[in-house]
Chains A and B, each alone.
Chain A
Amino acid sequence: MTQARRDEARSGMLFVAPYLLVFAALLVYPLLSGMWLSLHKADLFGGSQFIASENYSRLFHDAVFLRSVRNTVWFVAMTVPVLTVAGLVLALALNDRSRRSALLRGLFFCSSVLSVTIVTLIWRMVLVPDGGLIADLLARMGLSPIAFLSDPRLALPAIALTTIWWCIGLPMMLFIAALQQVPRDLYEAAALDNAGWWRTLLRITLPAIRRTAIVVVVIETILQFQLFGQAQILTLGGPNNASLPIVLFIYQVGFQRWDIGYAAAASEILFCIILLAALTQYFAARNPRRA
């Protein structure tokens, strides 16, 4: 390496150094220290003892943790496909310049800016059997109310519904942005090529917004694996852990039972699950021609 190149590399490092410092301090260090912590039996208020992989072997035999993993995977399976497909359908429906579409885009997006507390409060008013919106509607039809949040089969789907309502804005906006990037003359060429609406969607639109679809699925998977607030406020993970997600399990173990080594181990497993899911989707969806 010549002196000039070395100087250039050094000044380049100076430019990236501020970001690297923040990245290292707030991301790399906590990640590594979390990994290290997961190998200890540690109390939130002091006292830590190295126990190697014992936390992990305990986790794999912990019925509550395994339940929370199943719950979370089921929750992701319920929300991510719906968020992706509904986001796309809304984007296709509202991708024009009319005032009506602009208004509806705003309406669908505005739920996304609400805090989880407000969202869950709204949906509690919808879902509770005692005077809730759905219970009221059922009563008018002469049907008995459904206790969504205290029924073990319905608690998690109810949280999923709440989450979809809350999160639909982002996928919709990402898809609208992608749709607006598709050159108009492609659609005109397709029209001259006798392609109907459905075939144009399948052969022109979807391939054109493929990358955005991958981004939406990966982002939503990562987000929804971290389900916490909605479950904490709506059901506290109940009834009988039926809606307990991994993050709520981590929170309860770490900050209610103060067993932070064990909580750290659960966090690492969540980290690996999310990483694996995101990478699988990314590689599975990658276009082999452009690899």
Chain B
Amino acid sequence: MRHDREGTTVGGVALRGISKRFGSTRVLDDLSLEIAADEFLVVLGPSGCGKSTLLRVIAGLESIDAGAIEIDGRRVEHLPPGERGVAMVFQGYALYPHMTVRQNIAFGLLNTAMPRDEIARRLAEVARMLELEALLERLPAELSGGQRQRVAIARAIVKHPKVFMFDEPLSNLDAALRARTRQEIASLHRRLGTAMIFVTHDQTEAMTLADRIVVMNRQRIEQIGSPLEIYRHPATIFVATFVGSPTMNILPATRNARGVALSDGTVVEADLPASVPARDLRVGVRPESLTVCPPGSGDTRAVVEFVEFLGDKTHVHLQLASGDRLVALDEATFAAREGDALGVRFDRAALHLFDAGGMACGRRL
């Protein structure tokens, strides 16, 4: 189902040079971003990176110190939250505790001049869509976590907003419910076709839901890209290590005539672009791009430190002769034990190079 919004051009959200300070602390720093009208954008980052502030700034719950915000082609930074055409699902749902589900959903519509029969029609529509019909007369305290989540989503949908915003909406749900709700949100986005901005620190949510991911760190955008781009071509060491589990291995290295030399003397041959500096390099390699092999074979040798059997696969924690540590992904049948010496082979096509500042140089080798 798509909402009809007569006379509006497809616009989405545009942020231009947004800055925000709390006292002397900078929480957003000259941030610019565009979100298409039907895009599912996930803002991913650790606690305190500014991702929730970004959402609150778009919603109008926080003012901005500099920059411009456009929603659906209209400047909104001076408008109160209710007039921006946005709806938000809060982390703790923020349902009005003394109102029934029906009143919770209808409250936002009753505050506008909308005719009663239109309110009733929309209420029936979202109640059917989110299977809330049997719960309409209940108070939030009488609902389970998953039901509250659905009410919070219904309260957002019923307003037919131009942008949906989700502030870590799955973090209060148990693992099974979280996976199901994730799928429901994805299917909701397909049905509504409205811009959605979803803030999370969970990379699984980001990878599975997003059309594009914005990775934030220290109040700045580190990288914007599709989930695969973010995973395959991380722009910084931060993105490389924040996305992916187990995390990407980072090894110190230097450039030499044949390619890259690791600190244990191993040379990974590669044709490097001129922009790659000679010293203070970091080589990044994902655990699945390392292959353990019999001693004496592969690119270098390592000693098994410990082994984690996960059933379908095995994490092998290794130490190189230089003392650097690596994690390799292997099959469930991995047989070596702690202390065993092994060979390690690097998948050359999947190596990443970063300079001393943590920026990717030359992307993958």
**Which residues in A have some Cβ–Cβ distance to B below 8 Å?**
183, 185-186, 188-196, 199, 203-204, 207-208, 210, 287, 289
Contacts and interface: CB of A to CB of B under 8 A. Distances in A.
Given A188-B61, A287-B98, 6 more contacts: A189-B94, A191-B61, A194-B111, A204-B96, A208-B98, A210-B98
Given A207-B98, A208-B97, A192 B82 contact: yes
A93 to B, nearest CB: 21
A186 B94 contact: yes
B145 interface: no
Contacts of B139: 289
Given A186-B96, A207-B98, A191 B60 contact: yes
Contacts of A207: 96, 98
Contact of A193 (B56, B60, B98, B107): B107
A248 B81 CA distance: 57
Interface stretch (B29-37, B83-91, B240-248): B83-91
B278 to A, nearest CB: 52
Contacts of A194: 82-83, 108, 111-112
Contacts of A185: 90-92, 94
Interface string B17-35: 0000000000000000000
A289 B140 CA distance: 12
Contact of A203 (B81, B90, B94, B96): B96
Closest 10 CB pairs of A and B: A194-B82, A193-B108, A185-B94, A194-B111, A207-B98, A189-B94, A191-B81, A192-B81, A185-B90, A188-B61
A183 B82 contact: no
Interface of B: 56, 59-61, 80-83, 86-88, 90-92, 94-99, 107-108, 111-112, 139, 155, 159
Nearest to B59: A192
B82 A193 contact: yes
A289 B100 CA distance: 11
B193 to A, nearest CB: 21
B154 to A, nearest CB: 13
A188 B90 contact: yes
Contact of B80 (A191, A203, A287, A289): A191
Nearest to B92: A185
Nearest to A289: B139
A79 to B, nearest CB: 28
A193 B61 contact: no
Contacts, number: 66
B362 to A, nearest CB: 45
A189 B61 CA distance: 9
A287 B139 CA distance: 12
Contacts of A193: 82, 107-108, 111, 155, 159
16 contacts: A185-B94, A186-B96, A186-B97, A188-B56, A188-B81, A189-B155, A191-B80, A192-B61, A192-B108, A193-B107, A194-B82, A194-B108, A195-B111, A203-B99, A204-B96, A207-B98
B107 A203 contact: yes
A181 to B, nearest CB: 12
B273 to A, nearest CB: 49
Greatest chain A CB density within 10 A among B60, B82, B86 is at B82
Contacts of B83: 194
Nearest to A206: B98
Nearest to A182: B97
A208 B95 CA distance: 12
A199 to B, nearest CB: 6
A194 B98 CA distance: 18
Given A194-B82, A195-B82, A207-B98, A189 B90 contact: yes
A194 B159 CA distance: 11
B122 to A, nearest CB: 14
Contacts of A287: 98
A186 B97 CA distance: 9
Contacts of B56: 188
Contacts of A191: 60-61, 80-82
Greatest chain B CB density within 10 A among A186, A193, A207, A287 is at A193
B250 to A, nearest CB: 38
A14 B108 CA distance: 55
A186 B112 CA distance: 18
A189 B96 contact: yes
A204 B111 CA distance: 13
Contacts of B155: 189, 193
A186 B96 CA distance: 7
Contacts of B108: 192-195
Nearest to B82: A194
Nearest to B62: A188
A259 B50 CA distance: 75
Contacts of B80: 191
B353 to A, nearest CB: 44
A27 B139 CA distance: 41
Nearest to B87: A192
A208 B98 CA distance: 7
B151 to A, nearest CB: 12
Nearest to B97: A208
A194 B110 CA distance: 9
Contacts of B111: 193-196, 199
A194 B99 CA distance: 16
A80 B95 CA distance: 33
Contacts of B159: 193
A30 B82 CA distance: 60
A186 B92 CA distance: 10
Contacts of B99: 203
Contacts of B95: 189
A110 to B, nearest CB: 30
